[in-house]
Amino acid sequence: MNAREAILARVRAAARTGRVPTGHAGSPKTSAQEERSAKALASRSEDLLTHFSRELAALGVDCHVESTADAVRARIEGLARDKTILSWDPDRLPYEVGSILPAAATGAAGRSVQAGAALGVTGCHAAIAETGSLVVLSGPGTPRTASLLPPEHLCVVRRADLYASMGEFFRVRAADIAAASCCTFITGPSRTADIELTLTLGVHGPGKVVVIVGP
C-alpha cells in the first residue's frame, strides 16, 4: 500500500464512526412510542454526560454535575467568590447565572478592564462528548475574550447541549455556525510544548478550565 492509499484508507475508516440518524418520517407516534423515545433520549443524555465527564477528567478539567439551577448558581458563587470576572452578557448565560454576577464585566467593558479579569464565565453552544470539547460561537453578548483572556475559564453547560461528536454538532447547528463571527473549540486548558518540549499551561489562553453541567 502506497502513501496515498494509506491516507484514503484512514479517511474511510474514520468516516465509518459517523452517527447516522435513525428517525423515519411517517405516521405520528403513539403514546407508547413517544414514551420509548423519551426514555431513549434520557438514556443517551446520561451516556453522553458520562463520556463527556471522563474526557474532561483526562484533560485535567474540573467538572461539577448539578441537578438543579439553584445548585449551579450556588456552585458558581463559591468558585467565583472574591474574583474579578469577565462574562457573557447576563441574558446569554443559562440558569440565570447572570443574576449572581452583578459586578462582572462584559464585552462592552474597556480593554484594560477585560484584561484584568481573573475569571471568565461563559455558557457554551455545544459540549462534545467524544473529545471533552466546549464549543463557543462568538457574537453579540458572547464575546470570545470571556473564554480566552482570563487565566481561568468557568463554563456552564446545559445537558441539552451535549453532542456525541463534532460531526453531529456540525450537522445539527450548521446555520448557527455560519451566522457566528467565530467558532472556537476549547479542549482543556491552553497548553504548548514549543519551547524545549516542556509542557506549559496557559500560554495562549486559560491555564485552568472548570465545567459545571446543569440539568
Q: Is residue 29 part of a domain?
A: no
17-29: average pLDDT: 52
Residues 6+ apart with CB under 8 A from 183: 135, 136, 137, 138, 177
Domains of the chain: total = 1
What CATH number did the domain enclosing 192 receive? 3.40.50.10420
Q: Is residue 50 part of a domain?
A: yes
pLDDT tens digits along 158-172: 999 999 999 999 999
Instruction: Kindly list the distances between the CA atom of residue 82 and the CA atoms of 97, 101, 121, in Å, as whole numbers in the listed order.
Output: 16, 11, 14
Its domain, for residue 51, covers 39-213
Q: Is residue 20 part of a domain?
A: no
pLDDT tens digits along 35-54: 555 555 567 788 999 999 99
pLDDT reading at 21 higher than 50: no
Which of 97-106, 145-154, 181-190 is the least confident region?
181-190
Helix (H) or strand (E) holding 179: helix 174-179
Q: Is residue 25 part of a domain?
A: no
128-141: average pLDDT: 96
Task: Identify whether the C-beta of residue 64 lies closer than 8 Å to the C-beta of residue 135.
Answer: no
pLDDT reading at 132 higher than 50: yes
Residues 6+ apart with CB under 8 A from 64: 75, 210, 211, 212, 213
Percent above pLDDT 90 for the chain = 70
**Confidence class of residue 27 from pLDDT cuts 50, 70 and 90?**
low
Could you give phi then psi for residue 113, rounded to 5 degrees? Answer: -65, -45
28-34: average pLDDT: 61
Q: Is residue 19 part of a domain?
A: no
